[in-house]
A and B are shown apart, each in its own frame.
Chain A
Amino acid sequence: MTGARWRMFFGRKWLFVLLVLVFGWTLTKLGTQVVNLSEAADPWAASGRFFSAAFSPSLSDENPSLPAITTPFLERTASDLLRTLRYALIAMSLAIPAGVFLGLFASEQWLPNNGLRPFLNALRWLLRLGLSLVRAIHELIWALLFLAAVGDSPLTACLALALPASAILGKVFSELIDEQSRSAQKVIVASGGSGAQGFLGGIFPAALPDMISYALYRFECSLRASATLGFIGIETIGLGIRRSFENTYYSEVWTQLYLLIALVVIVEALGNLVRKRLRIGKPRQKSGVAMTEPTLRRTAPKDHLVRSLGLAAAVLVMASWSFGDRLLPRGNESQQAERLSRFFAQLTPDPVAPDRPVPTWAERREAWDAGSGDLLPWLHDLWESPGIAALTNTVAMSVAAIILASALAFFLIPWGARTLARSQPLGLEMVTGKLRSLVGGVVRAFFILTRAVPEYLYAFLLVGILGPSAWPLVLALALHNVGILGRLWGEVIENRDPRQARQILGMGGSRLQAFIGALTPLSLNRFLLFFFYRWESCLREATVLGMLGVSSLGYFISLRRSFLQYDQIIFFALLGAGAIIAGDIISDLLRKRLRT
């Protein structure tokens, strides 16, 4: 498509029409039934009871008939929360070194300038594709696979979190490395340094602040994912929430929710603080000290806050590895080996699977010879039913969710952006506005709270209240993404050139007019950029949300799990991964287009 036609296609007025049309398509796929409860159930009463419990979070067990030896609720919740944090910390301590290593090899840095370059570059792309695949498979699916392969243990949870995190860190780190200016590296090489020295001295330190920044964000995500693992039975806060909810102890649910939100919000706030400090660096405080090298060194600007946070993180990671439940799975080696080999047998596609759960190599061989001809028809059948329909539903859910989230975020941004939500928007004195900063604070708090809760948790609660249909899942995705888009778009608005908007305000226009008339047209490309970025992550999340019992890829994954049909689980997981990688590529292409 040429540039002009592209603009026509994606022109502003058509964009709106297009989004409405696409949303209409999702309605035809997902239906319009939002509430799916039995005749007798009263959704209003149920949700009324749930939401009114928000004002009376419980500090002790709601169940009056618990045996005396049961660990008290608060203590149980505290250890669930600590375990959630512990798994996320261990996962990140594995994922960050792996990400740096993978990131270096996925970058152009190490490619030599000789005949081997095209060949090695092809290998590099293969690695990037591998990273995309590992990351496209959701933490929950990794956890299901690891649970089957090595059994229930903390390590299972940590690996399930660490694997996709390593892959995405590797991918993003490689991009950060390739984005840096080469000029310092060139000087180092020009003065006789090796390429490796040039990287170490000229590229890596420059990329480091952004890498730390991203790793902090990823830690936040791992924390949320760690909580989510509770829903498939790993003992994190998610499991506590599930149990309390299923027993209708709603006040307990809210206590746990509040604690999880508090943890995530604290981690995010500390992350933001570190990010800010890394970006500007600390200016020199004292002056007039005696100018000798030792005094300068002693009084050098050091960021004690960032250093102590770094130290605290290191201590927490070490504590996570050393204290708490045994990391490795229980059972002796032969049991482990048997479990693993049974898992691989379950993983073998049905037509070529041997009859016995722990087959010998000869039996495997025999089964392959007997059934390999049926392999393609087997795949074809799975694709025809339920593959294609499940995939379409999953994609439709992600699209509906991102459109809903965008609409809400777009509506809220002019009320929430720091530069507008104040009595002097963009530096202009306005008569009305005292209330504005309050409203702004409320909107931003709403964004923070909505993004602190993981999608899966929202989905679990909403399905519990509204019954199993696609819309609770869509709402769950939309709620989480409103918070994220609110922040990302808000930052876009805050960093825009304010001149045109100020002009509108100066002529007596309102903030809303300045937003619609000047800031939005200036920011539309950036808005779309983040729209596609979030759509792709909605799609990834949508593949597992179906595990809550709504017809989509996740539903069939959890269904097949009850029959131990891991061959089909892999099929659905890979189907989802294929869609996510395709979505990733589409979103990447569109974003590149939008950046120019």
Chain B
Amino acid sequence: MSLLQVSDASRHYGATPALVGVALSLRPGEKVALIGPSGSGKTTLLRLLGLQEKPSSGSVTTLETDLATASADVLREARSRIGMLPQDLGLVPNLRVIQNIILGRSGTRNLLRTCRDLLFPSKSDRAEIFAILERLAIAEKMYDRADSLSGGQQQRVALARSLFQGAEILLADEPLSAVDPARGRDVLKLLTSLSDEDGLSLIVSLHQVELAREFFPRVIGLKAGRVVFDGSPSDEEIASLYSTDQ
């Protein structure tokens, strides 16, 4: 059974093609790096996989759900199992860490419960969040304001939000852009170890080719919206990915 299935998907913004004829599938627990030059369609692909937007043609099915045909309830249920780690992290700066994390379960809770979560989080939620933060080594920040944390710590808060959400797939958009270059390796180590321990499927877009090859058994190369390679690329394939000739 495949976790997600993309067949011949294209996406245009007006006349500009962002993705052209992409096909791929993913098994549960797989770790995939998306590499390619800026504007090659990495973010668009992540948005399609995350059921954020529909392909202009072709189909995308994530967790057996197709945005084009799903009912609101089915879509909500599927989305509640997809974790998103956007480039800007999507944290509310003046909320506490715990409040930011507890919002991760909005997909399975109603509006009233969200109000309660923000004001009076339940004991079991608190214990669960504390355990997740301990695992990410920032437990002492649990009740601090998000904007008082460093960039790397904020990223771990965003990650904790997806873990608390109970995501089965994590879609991370250039997670290394938010941290010090020297810490990039630590971030990938953390992400891949979470994937190994929890069976979380991981799709990470990256600029750093070497790190992608080091941490991810499967690397997908995108160029001008097309998949150029899918697997473990050779040096020639990498070179052609970043060459300027068409």
Contact = CB atoms under 8 A, between A and B. Distances in A.
Interface stretch (B12-20, B102-110, B176-184, B187-195): B102-110
B115 interface: yes
Nearest to A294: B126
Given A191-B104, A200-B111, A201-B103, A281 B90 contact: no
A189 B77 CA distance: 11
A273 interface: no
A281 B141 CA distance: 14
A196 B103 CA distance: 12
A203 B100 CA distance: 12
Determine which residue in B75, B95, B108, B109 has the highest number of CB atoms from chain A within 10 A of its CB, and name it. B95
Interface string B127-158: 10010000000011011110110000000001
Q: How large is the interface on B (under 10, 10 to 19, 20 to 34, 35 or more residues)?
A: 35 or more
B161 interface: yes
B92 A296 contact: no
Contacts of A208: 94
Contact of A190 (B52, B92, B96, B114): B52
Contact of B91 (A184, A198, A283): A184
Contacts of B139: 291, 296
A205 B95 contact: yes
A208 B99 CA distance: 15
A34 interface: no
A198 B90 CA distance: 11
- Consensus secondary structure, chain A interface: helix
B167 to A, nearest CB: 7
Contacts of B114: 193, 197, 200-201
A212 to B, nearest CB: 11
Q: How large is the interface on A (under 10, 10 to 19, 20 to 34, 35 or more residues)?
A: 20 to 34
Contacts of A297: 126, 142-143
Given A201-B103, A293-B130, A194 B96 contact: no
B82 interface: yes
B192 to A, nearest CB: 22
A196 B144 contact: no
A192 interface: yes
Nearest to A284: B144
B89 interface: yes
A209 interface: yes
Contact of A206 (B78, B94, B126, B144): B94
Contact of A191 (B91, B99, B107): B107
Contacts of A78: none
A187 interface: yes
A283 B90 CA distance: 22
Given A291-B140, A296-B143, A183 B111 contact: no
A190 B50 contact: yes
A187 B86 contact: yes
A198 B95 CA distance: 14
A304 B130 CA distance: 25
A411 B76 CA distance: 60
B88 interface: yes
A211 to B, nearest CB: 12
B115 A200 contact: yes
Nearest to B89: A183
Given A183-B89, A190-B50, A205-B95, A301 B111 contact: no
A189 B140 CA distance: 28
14 contacts: A183-B88, A187-B84, A190-B50, A190-B79, A190-B82, A191-B80, A191-B104, A201-B114, A205-B118, A281-B147, A293-B126, A296-B139, A300-B96, A301-B144
Given A191-B80, A209-B94, 9 more contacts: A186-B90, A187-B84, A190-B82, A191-B84, A192-B76, A202-B92, A281-B94, A293-B142, A297-B142
